[in-house]
Amino acid sequence: MKAARSFTFAIIILLISGPINPSPLLAQTKNEKEHFRIDLQFGNRNIYRDSLPNGTDIDFMNYLHKDREYSDYQFLDFGLTIAPSETWSFKAGFKMLSDMQPSHFSLTARYYADSLNACFIWGITSTFSIYPQYLDAFNRFHILTDTGFTADLNTNFRQRTLNDMGLDLMPFLSFNHKRFHGLLTTGIGVYSFMPFQELITQKKTSANLRREIRYETRFSPSISSLSEIEAGFDLIKGRKRSFGLTLKAGLLLSNRRIPYSRTTVTWVEEQTISEKVNPDKKLYTKSDLSWGIYLKF
């Protein structure tokens, strides 16, 4: 049985690697192009935001999900890269959180402009992406402030998905030497939380008075700073195929807010009040750290 396992492992290595390139130095030039690459990574994400007092109006940013013991989110990341020419590559990616539902999507176009030397190439990359996070227990604001009322007749735990959508443009510098390769990217983008609606239904204690509070959030685009660094090592390297390990880290930094319109309808008085609320912007960061494997062919 041990011999059979060894033979099977040897066959897998041969299928992946193909003929071994005897050259000790694989210089990176614009004539060397990557046709396809498949990535599989596991990662952790942490969200940070300044927390300010709600005051008389709810600030939804105060209720972004936060795990005080572990990372805020864990994800599984899949990516497929296609390079149709020496100067262009395109990548489609999606991630899954613990619910194992595809919920993050990204499309990346990368242009390799010029070689600086045998190991370095610079270029421009652009990415469209959308990723989710959670708002937790935002009805707590009403529980604390709306005294004299059953603050929320919905007794379930209040959690909803908040999607963040953005488009960025960044220069990059890539490195390739023997089995080692890396990528450094930094630039700016425009991001905004996607609008959503929420309803809070209340009843006055020991009375027949009821009221509904309807929230409708609005787009609020914000300039964001983004940086990414990626490192890889080819465990198996052939002329046309390679298999290796990768480590990637990314940081998004911006000032964000979630503006909204609030409509309060009260019965029996039949009174309706509509307001627009613009909370102050606050520091918001998203940091990712992931590691995994890749196959190039």
State the burial class of residue 179 (Cβ atoms within 10 Å of its Cβ: 0-12, 13-18, 19+). Answer: middle
φ, ψ for residue 139, nearest 5 deg: -70, -10
Q: Which residues contact 272 (CB under 8 A, 6 or more apart)?
A: 263, 264, 265, 266
pLDDT, one tens digit per residue, over 159-195 is: 999 999 999 999 999 999 999 999 999 999 999 999 9
Residue 163 CA to residue 195 CA, distance in Å, equals 8
DSSP labels for 98-148? TT--EEEEEEEEEEEEEESSSSEEEEEEEEEEEEEEEEE-TTHHHHHH-TT
In a domain, 245, yes or no: yes
At residue 121, the pLDDT reads 96
In a domain, 6, yes or no: no
- The residues with which 169 forms a beta bridge, in sequence order, are 126, 188
Any idea what the CATH number is for the domain that residue 179 is in? 2.40.128
Stretches in the chain below the pLDDT threshold 70? 1-34, 269
In a domain, 61, yes or no: yes
pLDDT, one tens digit per residue, over 198-234 is: 999 999 998 889 999 999 999 999 999 999 999 999 9
Element (H, E) at 15: helix 2-17
In a domain, 23, yes or no: no
In a domain, 18, yes or no: no
At residue 208, the pLDDT reads 86
In a domain, 262, yes or no: yes
In a domain, 151, yes or no: yes
Question: CA torsion sign, 145 to 133 to 252 to 72?
Answer: positive
In a domain, 11, yes or no: no
At residue 178, the pLDDT reads 92
At residue 9, the pLDDT reads 41
At residue 33, the pLDDT reads 59
Adjacency order of strands within the sheet including 197-204: 149-150, 197-204, 210-217, 260-267, 271-277
Domain assignment of residue 156, given as a range: 28-296
Collapsed DSSP state (helix, strand, coil) of residue 45? strand
Residue 54 CA to residue 137 CA, distance in Å, equals 14
Residue 166 CA to residue 156 CA, distance in Å, equals 31
Q: Which residues contact 20 (CB under 8 A, 6 or more apart)?
A: 237, 238, 239
How many domains in the chain? 1
Residue 236 CA to residue 13 CA, distance in Å, equals 8
Residue 81 CA to residue 38 CA, distance in Å, equals 7
